[in-house]
Amino acid sequence: MAFPLYAGVYLQHTATIILTYLCLALSWDMLVRTGQISFGVAGFFGIGAYSAALTALNLKLDPLLSIAVGGLAAMAAALVLGLTTLQLRGMYFAITTLALTEIFRVIVRNLPGLTGGPEGTVLPSAIFDGDPTKTYWLLLAIALVTIAISEAFQRTRVYFAITSIRHDEMVARSSGLDIFKYAVFVFAVTSAIQGIVGASFAQQYAFVSPEGTFDIDFTLLPIAMCLLGGMHSTLGPIIGALVLGSVAEYLKLQLPYGHLLVYGAVITLVILLMPQGVAGKMKEQFVREQ
Amino acid sequence: MRSIEHQDPTMTNQMAGEMAVLEIDSLVRRFGGLAALRQVSFAVNAHEVLGIIGPNGAGKTTLINVIGGIYPPTSGRILFQGRDITELPAHLRCRLGIARTFQIVRPVQGLNLLQNIMVGSLFGRGASLKEARSQSLGICQFMGLSRVDRAIAKLTVLEIKKMEIARALSTQPRILLLDEVMAGLNVDETREMIDLVRQVCAQGVTVCIIEHVMSVIRELTERVIVLDHGEKIAQGPYEEVSRDPRVIGAYLGEEE
Amino acid sequence: MTGKRMRAVCVGCILLAALISACAPAAAPGTPPATPTVGTTPAAAAQPAAAVKKPIKLGAVIPLGDITGAQSAKAMKLAVKEINAKGGVLGRPLELIVVDDEMKPDKGAAALDKLATVDKVDVFIGGMASGVLLGQAPTLKKYAKVTVWTGAASSKCEEAIGADADWFFHIHPWDYNQGASYEEGWTAITKRYPQIKVENQFWAYEEGAFGAGTFKASQDLYNQWAKIQGQSFKSAAVGGGDYRAVLRQAKEAKPDVFIWVGYEPDAMGFVQQAKEIGFAPPIFLGSPPGWPVAFGKSPLSEAVWLYGMWAPAIKEVSDVSKGFLDAYVKEYGEEPATYFSPLGYANVYIVAEAIRRAGTIDKPALITALEKTEYKSPTGDVVTFTPSKIIKHQGIKKQKILQYQHGQQQVIWPFEVATAKPAYPFPSWEGR
Amino acid sequence: MSALPRSRRYQIAVPLALFIVVLAWWHPYAVIEGVQRAGLYAAIALPMALILGIVGIVNLAHGDFLMLGAYLAYWFAVHTQGDPLVAILPAALGLFLLGAVVYRATIKHVIGSSELSQLLLTFGLAIVLQQTATLLWTSQPVSINTEYTSTSATIGSLTFGTYGFVYVAAAVIEFAGLTFFLQRTRLGQAASASGQNPVGARIVGINVDRVYLIVFSISLALAGAVGVLFLTRHAVFPLVGGGLTFKSFCLAAMAGLGNLRGILWCSLILGLAESLVSTSKEYAGWADLIFFVAIVAVILVQSHRRQVT
């Protein structure tokens, strides 16, 4: 993981971007493990980014502290949203989260006094004065924490809770499991991660704007990565982010026009041909050989 | 969760005064225009095995679902140990001590045999992972389930049925609602299951059992409730009820 | 594998094959070729001497998925080809390396890192969206390489770059430059054509950064000479497209000038719906970054005014513009649809000429040479670099006021490059 | 198909009518334009509701198929120099065939699998369509101007566009056609049956898979045809469909799954509300929130209702 440090600034920067998407992909997957799809990653990413930028700018908070604030703000938003919409799960939840990004964008755009309005807000300087190595370490740390949380979710009682919710809500409820509590809990944790990632993004590039920060790609790319790597595991999204992140960077240099098509094709083909993803496929193979 | 119960003085008084664990009071459940339960009332006494029988579509499973809290009744009341639980969500009912199995088995596919059983212990009883594991292993032994790390796909029908009961037992229930656990089992397996239910009962768990196989009802239950078209048409010992013309009529109606 | 599965795989392969084949023809004429490096080969053929020397590398960051960026890249490629055909600069060929910023700040910043560390370019060029430059600002400052930027109009970018950045050269006018030059333009026009009135203006601006920013900048600026009111609308580019509410408010305000600031997808809707509600102010003006190709063909376009930097008609008054346009059409078989193509072309030439004057690519010498730039651009301007509000090196400060006449964009002001006289007042919608 | 009992319908219809009357007096243009807007929304949402009601799939690529139809019409109009409206039939036919192919190749394989797979599949399809369109036609918008698009009428002091009513007509025709199809034709009855109970439908001998295929294709054909109408008044570009998909879904969710008549009502309410907010000077920027507020409100009501019943 320290490899990019010796590979030059460009690779370091690309690795930082890939780590950003890795965290988003992993946090998205953690929620999927409860059976809920969120199309609102960009929304929480944006809330985190804006909260961090505005607190750093107006309250002169330390950048690292402002990143924590970004995570908390996203978590608070998720709690409010979760408490209202997670009673109805499935399609309704998915579509509400799809709307979420747009709602936040509209709000941010229409409160120019607070947020800088449509033009966004510029921070005086990037975090660590733009030092790419330190930024890389920061993102790596966030990614490791995300991985740790994901693994914790796979090894503790949370695993039993979310797996039963995903497979059979009725059994879960009848076995004494408070579905709503767990759904809201996981939603809040994953949103906090997305908020933190967004906040560090804002600190890294020293600016936020409604269009750039609430970009639908922050939702889209993580989903494609999870699908490719395989859902419902820690390894899957990591593989997906590494593979798709680097392939996309390579393709961009080879096929400058329309390489986003790859993401759509990946999502479609994986769902049709390999719903368990790369990691799942490997696991399956492994089990068969045993 | 149990501790909360004891803090409620009215409840303990009632518990002392009455033998009923569960009281059902004029329960009505409609689906759209269709009434699945009409004014059903009965009580389940502590330590008894109560049979619930009736032709297909009589509302037996709906009754279990309403008692378990899967959906609320349209009207009527449910009392558990004297406490009104009509408004309580399913998971809290489970934690109070109402456990159930499902007519069509519902193992959680992502979990293996032991893990499935642990779910009940973890959430129904609030056990830690370690406690849940050892407790569930104990229940497995009691139920005669071996090789507990097998995936669901590798289990036999009997094993899955046992797993469902084990999962319900791992919540340490006061009352266990069994929904056609004998369906699809052969004679020997049915025998084994009947013994198991007896042992469960012997441990002080009250049992409510829905069953189509009348020999099982005859052997296990002290008392039966007969439902037809959502209405309670008879109750009493099986031998008595089976001679009731209304009951015979209901079952004959099904034959047509 | 079951038959069903098999079929699914086949379908998948066919789908993928179809997609790839769909990419190929579209990508070939429309975009730079697959290899990001262009320009060395023709130079080698023409000037064998130049080829052996190490090329001078220009690293461009452009959104290739968007028509503005795509055409800008094409024009840059054309300029590099022309310069190399004449022997390159300082006897060395130019090499252009284009990296897509995907209109995203993070990708734009990473692109700069790639150009600086992997390709080791000598100069940064390119640029389009303000939002991307804002995100790139920390990275640009990190390298502090000589940077000659075509795009980005938001003055927020100027704040982000800061006053110390003597290596930053900005060609595109800032939003307030544009505002000021329109004031200058209208003052000149009303002086020459006294019947034209512009004091009372109604602005319809799209609610995003572009529209709202432009409106705000102009509002601050115009209090002196014009009465401005405005209302935002949702651009069709982001799912809007119903302008009747804003047009009706404009109609009630009875302005001398109606201006809409939005994107290409709004152009046709505005005239159609203005006709629909019978709103024909004396001056009907649009200010999108680009116009739909077919807009001029519609009878509704007649006498619509527009703000811009360039129109194909400038070729009639500017040799550079004619040369550029002819070469572009010859090279790509189509007319450029956005002013970013002449700007991209100018971008390369400005850098090349400065290097030639400096005689070196060393940073201080190159900065000094760039400061002395006096480049006759295909946009019809003479580009020089002078201080703006914050930065030291601002290129073009003037915009142009144009008008659709008989399906062509004609320049009305500045008068030096004017290609037509204004049609005034705006004819009624009836009969068109 | 209509989910509401008669009494509830009055509960909605009477306040709505009152609201319209008051609004018409206060803000006549908001009503005229709101109705036209509602027509467009309904015309776009109806085919999506059809798929949702019968095949049970949320087609997140719905708006992108519409975009495809619009491009077909554009291509047709440019090459024949003809009126784009003539392209309605070819566009519908083209999309019908495309629908059959897409159904066979993709949708068919996720029927019966999890909601997650279905949503993600159509989401992937949406991106593929958008990006393919970008490759083929670039991001530059295309639009077509025809003389009739900006025809207007004057009643008293009101001058308003009349072409917008074409969307109202389209929505009504679509609704009538679909209702007729579902209630009066054999295939339509089979489709209704499959929508309500696929297992039962299979038992009584309906080829559910074929019914799904046809319904999906019909829906895309309608989307294509509406796309042509859309082109006559709006600029079309590769990403134009996303917002339309979302609005359609909101309407379908509000109306109740599969309730076609409800789509008309809900479009009317949301169309008027949007139109009203965007006419107000200070708050025009918030008009976007109408649909979002609506969908969140629907969810709250639904979840409340689920708790009570």
Q: Return the closest-CA partner of residue D255 out of D59, D46, D44.
A: D46
Q: What angle do CA D171, D174, D179 make, to 5 degrees?
A: 125
Distant-in-sequence, close-in-space partners of C156: CB < 8 Å, separation ≥ 6: A119, A120, A122, A207, C130, C134, C213
Decide if pLDDT at B13 tops 60. Answer: no
- Window 92-111 of D: residues touching A by CB (8 A cutoff) are 106, 109-110
pLDDT one-digit tens code per residue, D2-45: 444 555 667 677 777 887 777 777 788 888 989 999 999 999 99
Inform me whether the pLDDT recorded for B2 exceeds 60: no
Q: Which residue bears the tokens 């990413």?
A: A45
Q: Does A287 touch chain B (CB under 8 A)?
A: no
Q: Using CA atoms, how far apart are residues C161 and B252, in angstroms rounded to an integer? A: 89
Whether C21 has a pLDDT exceeding 70, the answer reads: no
Beta strand ranges found along chain D (DSSP E): 152-155, 158-161
Q: C139 — phi, psi (to 5°)?
A: -70, -40
Asked whether the beta carbons of residue D140 and residue C238 sit closer than 8 angstroms, the reply is: no
- The H or E element spanning position C187 is helix C175-192
Is the pLDDT at C306 greater than 90, yes or no?
yes
* pLDDT, tens only, A176-234: 999 999 999 999 999 999 999 999 999 998 889 888 888 888 888 898 888 888 888 89
Would you say D123 and D211 are in contact if contact means Cβ atoms under 8 Å apart? no
CA–CA–CA angle C180, C200, A120 (5° rounding) = 50
* E strands, chain A, in order: 121-122, 207-208
Higher-pLDDT residue of D15 and D83 is D83
* Fold agreement (C53-173+317-383, C176-308+400-417): yes
Tell whether D176 lies on the interface with C, counting CB pairs under 8 A: no
| Start-to-end Cα distance in chain D | 21
Contact B190, B179 (CB under 8 A): no
Mutate to test the interface with A, among B71, B91, B101, B165 (most CBs of A within 10 A): B91
**pLDDT of D283 over the 80 cut:** no
- Percent of chain C exceeding pLDDT 90 equals 53
Q: Which residue has the higher pLDDT, C263 or A194?
A: A194
CB of B75 less than 8 A from some CB of D: no
> At residue B155, what is the residue type?
L
pLDDT at C32 over 60: no
What is the C-alpha to C-alpha distance for residues B53 and C344, in angstroms, rounded to an integer?
84
Q: Tell me what pLDDT residue B50 has.
A: 93
Place C31 in a pLDDT band, splitting at 50, 70 and 90. very low
Q: Is D8 exposed, middle or buried (0-12, 13-18, 19+ CB in 10 A)?
A: exposed
d(CA B160, CA B155): 6
- pLDDT band at B254, cuts 50/70/90? low
Residues C244/D29, Cβ–Cβ less than 8 Å: yes
Is the per-residue pLDDT at C14 higher than 60? no
Longest dimension (CA), chain A: 63
Q: Is the pLDDT of residue B178 over 60?
A: yes
pLDDT at B19 exceeding the cut of 80: no
- Whether pLDDT at B93 is above 90: yes
A91 versus C67: the higher-pLDDT residue is: C67
Chains B and C touch (3+ CB pairs under 8 A): no
Gap between the Cα atoms of D157 and D168, Å rounded: 23
CB < 8 Å to D307, chain B: 72
Q: Which residue has the higher pLDDT, A74 or C49?
A: A74
Cross-chain CB nearest to A109 (options C99, C207, C216): C207
Rounded Cα distance, C93 and C86, in Å: 9
Average pLDDT over residues C377-402: 93
pLDDT of residue C74: 94
Cα B160 to Cα B151: distance, rounded to the nearest angstrom: 11
Residues of A in contact with B118 (CB under 8 A): 160
Q: What is the mean pLDDT of residues C330-349?
A: 92
**Which residues on B lie below 8 Å from D309 (Cβ)?**
71-72, 74
Q: Which of residues 248-307 of D touch B (CB under 8 A)?
A: 307
3-state SS assignment for residue C6:
helix
Q: Which domain holds residue D250?
A: 6-308
As a whole number, mean pLDDT of residues C386-407 equals: 93
CB proximity list for C190: less than 8 A, separation 6 or greater: C196, C197, C198
Domain range summary for chain C, segments of one domain joined by +: 53-173+317-383, 176-308+400-417
C 315-344 → D contacts, CB under 8 A = 337
Question: How far apart, in whole angstroms, are the C-alpha atoms of residue D30 and residue D136?
Answer: 38
Closest CA in chain C for residue D74: C294
Q: Between C272 and D300, where is the model more confident?
A: C272
Short-list D35, D38, D44, CA closest to D243: D44
Average pLDDT estimate for C100-124:
88
The answer as to whether D112 is a domain residue is yes
Q: Which two tokens stand for residue D307?
A: 């708790």
Percent of chain D clearing pLDDT 70 (strictly above): 94
The pLDDT assigned to C43 comes to 41
Contact D223, D62 (CB under 8 A): yes
Residue C2's alpha-carbon distances to A271, C79, D142, in angstroms, are 17, 57, 45
Q: How far apart are CA C100 and CA C116, in angstroms?
A: 15
Number of domains into which chain D is organized: 1
Nearest to D289 by CA among A110, C205, A74: A110
Residues D215-238, mean pLDDT to the nearest whole number: 94
pLDDT at C34 (0 to 100): 36
Q: Among C189, C176, C148, which residue's Cα sits nearest to residue C347?
A: C148
Per-residue pLDDT at B82: 87
**Tokens (6 digits) for C155:** 């003055």
Mean pLDDT across chain C: 85
A178 touches chain B (CB under 8 A): yes
- CB atoms under 10 Å from CB of B174, counted, come to 18
Q: Any CB–CB contact under 8 A between D117 and chain C?
A: no
Min Cα distance D273 → chain A (Å) is 17
pLDDT along chain A (290 residues), means of 10: 64 89 95 89 95 92 93 95 79 79 86 83 83 90 96 92 90 91 94 96 90 84 86 90 85 68 83 76 66
Q: Is D199 on the interface with B (CB under 8 A)?
A: no
Chain C: residue nearest A117 by CA? C209
Q: Which pLDDT band holds residue D279 (cuts at 50, 70, 90)? A: confident
Q: How many CB atoms lie within 10 A of CB C362?
A: 12
**d(C-alpha A39, C-alpha A47), whole Å:** 15
Across the range C130-152, mean pLDDT stands at: 90
How far is it, in rounded angstroms, from Cα C174 to Cα D88?
Answer: 45
CATH class belonging to C53-173+317-383: alpha beta
Q: How many Å apart are CA D233 and CA D149, to the nearest integer?
A: 6
- C34 SS3 class: coil
Asked whether A35 and A165 are in contact (CB, 8 A), the reply is yes
How far, in Å, CA of B91 to CA of A175, rounded?
Answer: 6
Q: How many CB pairs under 8 A join C and D?
A: 126
Cα distances (Å, whole numbers) of residue C111 to A132, A158, C63, C105, C147: 14, 41, 11, 10, 14
Q: What is the pLDDT of residue B16?
A: 42
Residues of D with Cβ-Cβ distance to C266 under 8 angstroms: 235
Please indicate whether, in this complex, the C-beta atoms of B125 and A176 are within 8 angstroms of each other.
Answer: yes
For position D189, which CATH number holds? 1.10.3470
Amino acid at D53: G
- Closest-CA residue of B relative to A182 is B123
Q: What is the mean pLDDT of residues D251-275?
A: 86
Q: CB under 8 Å to A107, separation ≥6 — which residues? A: none
Q: Which contiguous run of DSSP H or E holds residue B135?
A: helix B129-143
pLDDT tens-digit readout, D147-202? 888 888 888 778 888 888 999 999 999 999 999 999 999 999 999 888 888 888 88
- Alpha-carbon gap, residue D277 to C78, rounded angstroms: 49
Side chain identity, residue D92: A
Q: B72 touching D, CB under 8 A?
A: yes
**What is the least distance, in Å, from the CA of C245 to any CA of chain D?**
5
Question: What is the helix (H) or strand (E) element at residue C37, kind and residue range?
Answer: strand C37-38
Neighbours of D133 (CB within 10 A): 24
pLDDT reported for residue C23: 38
pLDDT higher than threshold 60 for residue B256: no
User: What does CATH list as the number for C176-308+400-417?
Assistant: 3.40.50.2300
pLDDT value at residue C297: 87
**In this predicted model, which residue has the larger pLDDT, A4 or C224?**
C224
Q: Is residue D55 part of a domain?
A: yes
- The average pLDDT across D37-57 equals 93
Task: Return the pLDDT at A259.
Answer: 67
Distance from C-alpha of C44 to C-alpha of C48, rounded to nearest angstrom: 5
Alpha-carbon span B251 to B248, nearest angstrom: 5
Alpha-carbon distance of B33 to B119, in angstroms, equals 36
Which of C 225-244 lie inside 8 A of D, CB atoms? 231-234, 236-239, 241-242, 244
Lowest pLDDT segment from A83-92, A108-117, C6-15, D290-299: C6-15
How much is the average pLDDT of C64-89? 91
Mean residue pLDDT across chain B: 86
Q: Each residue of B45-69: pLDDT tens digit? A: 988 999 999 888 888 889 999 999 9
> Considering only CA atoms, which of B71, B83, B62, B67 is closest in space to residue B5?
B83
